[in-house]
Structure 1
């Protein structure tokens, strides 16, 4: 039977069902949703973004994101409120799907209001209500006079009449219980998570002063006009010295005619600084790939099924910032909070090599060896007496991360008045290193406190802890104590003379 080649009789347009609005933003966290709004501000040329978390009785009720970008006229505002509208993106834009504003907003609020002013245009306002939008996509056109008032408010905060103010009201997914302490704890946790997320996501833009972001938390109706607390950059590759002398190292993954660069990093062993850990989460949770698009971080760690996360691989991180990989090899989700690696890219990574022949799995083995060797050294150290009063909590914590403690006693480092020329004394029975209060000003010039002079006390703890770990002082211990008293007493006297006292 011969079939007719052209079997098309008509072409019709099938508009999306408005009910899809109910599922918009379901996968957005508060942090990723606000980051999506910041993306829009950056695409609009903003250099300042102010985020305002407004509360009633410590319950989050309204979120505002204000910027000093180029703003929108009526046509641009209508397009921005249209579901799935994709503007003409230019190279460097962070927008991608045309869903960001709506998905981010409706993932956490029931009412989205936009106030915007562009140069030479009448200020505009638009509002969409989730309940109405999910029926017929209707949008409210707001008073230009009120839009002008919001522009004046925005100028007081970010220094520009031109720009855009995004306002979420009827906020969902916030603490609604009656316990005041729980409400404050929830808000504090969300603030910390937001600051960490924005700090790492936009760390390159923040560090180069291309962007300033601040966050203000205040009661609705009482929010100050000025800026909030600035977001600081959190560099996930901000180590001072590489953990392995051969790294960072660039591997090349090839898929057909396309080459993608993978820059492999190994953090120093036993790192415990911001950048290795992010927010309240440990560095072990951030091993894996860091994928950048136009200096915006899209993925913060995770191996994307190319490797198995293990404690021994926690020092390994890989940068991928070849935007050509996004699309054919890596698929971005609408929330920009992670990417899916396509099978062809998995194969390319498995075959990736550096100029010296290092493969992806050689890199993982190198990272594991640094971690394992450091922990072997740790296990060879003998347990020590626990440091206690007089030593700063952060120092005690670090000592505990390096050494295990003997059960029972603890040693204190304290000040008391002693004769001139004496600097320290050892009280074995009281488990105390005594320092001469006469010389305290040399190490705590602004006035003493219980945990003052942390460097001095840490050094003395490391020098003396072993004499407290026996049941009594032996002859060798007594001789060492005499040596310390003699040398350190002379050093303190010399230091005092050098300071002109």
Structure 2
């Protein structure tokens, strides 16, 4: 306690909970934050049910994890939960369950069972109408609520947790929530959520070593992983991985970087797979860094200010991995969908990222060159022409990579600019045009 007079100034529950609804979630990211809790609880199955019922529409997110005791459940509904997070936990601020849920609805119920031998469930409800009426941090017992009773039945076979969203005021239109538009909106959100979960949790869905098998379904449809690096494509190119050590104050840790050049369209196994790998943002905006926190994808696409988006480097993608003990250095936001690169790491990444883009540029140009550049008639047979062109391209790539490794990239860019101006044919052969 302070030495002088002090005053307890508790925030208004009604005003603060209202403000926390606008922390940055949309429907898919809110669902993903609840799935984070399921993974942290050791769940192997997560089932999301988005049910249209007019103004009584609801969302269930059920898992078979270890569940919560009555005390842990109540603590889980506290804003700024006191629970301790260990290394590797997907949680961060003790806000996710509440802020994610209330960003979409006005009432969230949590039903949980923690004993595998005793069929006993606990249920509590956080309702904004009640909080606003009393202006207190109130959590209530749902009593004989039929929707809660349905969730209890699902937990009859074992441990787990069910999160129930109701009064979906941020999802359904205020007018005519029973109409066809509202139904179609929920159906569209189910599709977007399926796609989003397949992206952010793809490492967990791919049965990677060290993770339990995870199955996620949305309205009965199994979520398929979307791995941005197309690991099954034979023509995929991976550059040597790198590892960086960063430190700030008493915190230090390692960050891993893996760099990939995806195949050009004509080298993909089939057109359908090429189109699928374009991702939700399409090829140009999907290039860049894919940043993982404890194997969960938190940000994808773009170069985080290291360089700009370029059509010629659209095949370049890189995985950047950091652990939860570096959260403060990466400034991860509450919704776990945005990070900032530490300045020291940004400097370390410039050279390997530019080297990756050199290789991606070369792959792009080799793919497009036959259509873009006519073959001179006096260079001999087509096989010889291809050999000469390939040798020139390889030489250009080797010189660019050497300039990168020698720390002379800026000088090489000036040399390339002069070549493009004074000897465009040579620049073209070297892949610099």
- TM-score by shorter chain over 0.5: yes
What residue number does 2:216 align with? 213
Q: In the alignment, is residue 70 of structure 1 matched against residue 62 of structure 2?
A: no
Residue aligning to 2:298: 298
Look up the match of 1:118.
Answer: 114
Aligned partner of 1:136 in structure 2 is 136
* Cα separation, 1, equivalents of 2:230 and 2:85: 32
| More strand by percentage | 1
SS at match of 1:340: coil
Does the aligned pair in 2 maintain the 1:288–1:302 contact within 8 Å? yes
Does the Cα contact within 8 Å between 1:239 and 1:268 map onto a contact in 2? no
TM-score (norm 1): 0.63
Task: Evaluate the alpha carbon distance shift between residue 131 and residue 378 of structure 1 in structure 2; reply closer, same or farther with a 3 A threshold.
Answer: farther
Q: Aligned partners of 1:333, 1:313: CA distance in 2, in Å?
A: 29
Asked if 1:97 corresponds to 2:97, the answer is no
State how far apart, in whole Å, the 2-side matches of 1:292 and 1:15 are: 36
If asked which structure has higher relative contact order (CA below 8 Å, sep 6+), I would say 2
Contact 1:252 1:261 in 2 (8 A): yes
Answer yes or no: is the 8 Å Cα contact 2:294–2:324 preserved in 1.
Answer: no
1:249 aligned to 2:214?
Answer: no
| Contact residue 122 and residue 144 of structure 1 kept, 8 A | no
Give the corresponding residue for 1:265.
260
Cα deviation per residue 1:382-422 (whole Å; 9 max; x = unaligned)? xxxxxxxxxxxxxxxxxxxxxxxxxxxxxxxxxxxxxxxxx
Moved over 6 A (4+): 144-148
**Cα distance, 1:14–1:140 mapped onto 2, change above 3 Å:** same
What is the CA-CA distance between 1:11 and the residue it aligns to? 5.5
Are 1:193 and 2:192 matched, yes or no? yes
Q: Are residues 1:38 and 2:41 paired?
A: no
CA distance 1:25–1:364, shift in 2 (3 Å): farther
**Separation in 1 of the partners of 2:225 and 2:295?**
13
* CA shift in 2, pair 1:147/1:64, >3 Å: closer
Bigger Rg, which one: 1
Distance in 2, matches of 1:269 and 1:189, equals 31
Q: CA deviation at 1:166?
A: 0.7
Aligned to 1:390: none
Question: What displacement does 1:50 show?
Answer: 0.8
* Larger helix percent: 2
- Secondary structure, aligned partner of 2:167: strand
- Cα pair distance change 1:275/1:324, threshold 3 Å: farther
Shift of 1:122: 3.9
1:347 to partner: Cα distance: 2.4
Distance in 2 separating the partners of 1:23 and 1:365? 46
Distance change (3 Å), C-alpha of 1:72 and 1:260 = closer
CA offset at residue 111 of structure 1?
Answer: 0.7
State the aligned residue count. Answer: 352
Mapping of residues 144-159 of structure 1, within 5 Å: 149-150=149-150, 152-155=152-155
**1:290-318 deviations in Å (ceiling 9; x for gaps):** 12223221112232222212222221111
Kindly state the Cα deviation for residue 24 of structure 1 after the two structures are TM-superposed: 1.9
1:5-31 Cα shifts (integer Å, max 9, x gaps): xx9535555434422211224210100
Q: How do residues 454-465 of structure 1 correspond to structure 2 at under 5 angstroms? A: none
Task: Report the RMSD for the aligned CA atoms in angstroms.
Answer: 3.0
